[in-house]
Amino acid sequence: MNAPLIVNAPLIVLAAGGTGGHLFPAESLARELRLRGVSVELISDDRVADFSASFPANAIHEVTSGTVTGKGLLGKLTGTIALVRGVWECRGLLKRLQPRAVVGFGGYPTVPPVLAATLLNIPTVLHEQNAVMGRANRFLSSRVNGIATGFAIDPRFVHVGNPVRATVLEAAKSAMPPLQSGGLLKLLVFGGSQGARIMGEIVPPAIASLSLENRNRLHVTQQVRQEDMERVQAEYARLGVASDCAPFFRDLPQRMAASHLIIGRSGASTVAELAVIGRPSILVPLPGSLDQDQAANARVLADGGAAEIMVQAAFTPAALAARLTDILANPVPLMDIAARAKQMGISNAASRLADVVLRVAGLQNLVKATA
């Protein structure tokens, strides 16, 4: 671990699925808890290896997990066996660690540790990042001592916001680049692990159909799948469009802050970062999910006048080109949209969530009572 160990301190165990959408808010809470003198350990699945070098925990434990919603009878049976095994592993681990509380961040790897904690009468808290509650959290919700949410989805729950990374808070200090009619428009395009392909298919041909004058006013920064990189870069070069393409941007928050307009998916972390940094966006929710969580997330920003939604079926080169043409004709209103996004951001969500966790854990002396 990069973070120094905290010893002889109360312990809080975090449990999160091994993807950025779950681990980023868990990481932010971990940093806040450590600032208050609390020791943190993490339970996740084998996907956590990609994040383990930077996660601020004394230890990271990989445990067996499975989902009972697998395909077919065999898939469900295999998932159930893995789930039972994971609960048994977590029960032994938690008995040894004796944490003051266990905090779940969603995803099926959250179920074994939180369920084991309830069986051991260890206080438990869930944090739901999306505007609709996911299946793992729904399954656990009646068993836990507290539920905090990233969006105001239910008056029974504590709305704290979605904790964002320190790099996002730093980027949020940057003012939006100046905008003027006829000037340069900095466009950022990304889709995450489940959206880069469609962005690579739709955005370049949309820009190709713009007038030469409008193409000359664009600077495009775009996340592109490695297999699409040569094609997309060649297209922008052919069009004479200034571009910066890569499969992954480690400094994405800074690139968000340096942009005038963002086109992307609407995962909970993305929506939270757009609001905290305060930038306008065109959001294309990932279709087909059972919970339609990204659609619900996007509606929150759109209802606040801070984003536009283009459903994937309507996200075509022609439709996007028409919208970009309108924006380039009058880009100045993007400043007001950015301000509305900023007003919706909750920059102290990690501190608010830490207060909830510490109260449930019986550590009221460490609560800041954050407004």
Mean pLDDT, the chain, integer: 91
Of 49-58, 161-170, 298-307, the poorest mean pLDDT is in 49-58
User: Mind listing the pLDDT tens digit for each residue in 252-292?
Assistant: 999 999 999 999 999 999 999 999 999 999 999 999 776 79
Tens digit of pLDDT for each residue in 330-362?
Answer: 999 999 999 999 999 999 999 999 999 999 999
pLDDT tens for residues 85-97? Answer: 889 999 999 999 9
Could you tell me which residues come within 8 angstroms of residue 56 by beta carbon, excluding any fewer than 6 positions away? Answer: 1, 2, 3, 27, 30, 31, 34, 40
Q: Output 75 or 299, whichever has higher pLDDT.
A: 299
**Residue 294: predicted pLDDT:** 94
Instruction: Kindly report, residue by residue over 165-198, the tens digit of the pLDDT.
Output: 999 999 999 999 999 888 999 999 998 766 788 9
**Mean of pLDDT values over 201-213:** 97
Output 99 or 250, whichever has higher pLDDT: 99
Average pLDDT over residues 101-118: 94
pLDDT at 208 exceeding the cut of 70: yes
With pLDDT > 70 as the criterion, what percentage of the chain qualifies? 91
Residue 3 confidence (pLDDT) = 58
- Reported as a pLDDT band with limits 50, 70 and 90, residue 126 is very high
Q: What pLDDT, in 10s, does the model give residues 322-331?
A: 999 999 999 9
Whether the per-residue pLDDT at 67 is higher than 90: the answer is no
Instruction: Judge whether residue 369 has pLDDT over 70.
Output: no
The pLDDT > 90 percentage for the chain reads 78
For residue 1, the model assigns a pLDDT of: 43
State the pLDDT at residue 81: 77
pLDDT for the residue 358? 98
Name which of 37-41, 99-103, 285-289, 331-335 the model is least confident about.
285-289
In the predicted structure, residue 7 carries a pLDDT above the cut 70: no
Residue 27: per-residue pLDDT: 94
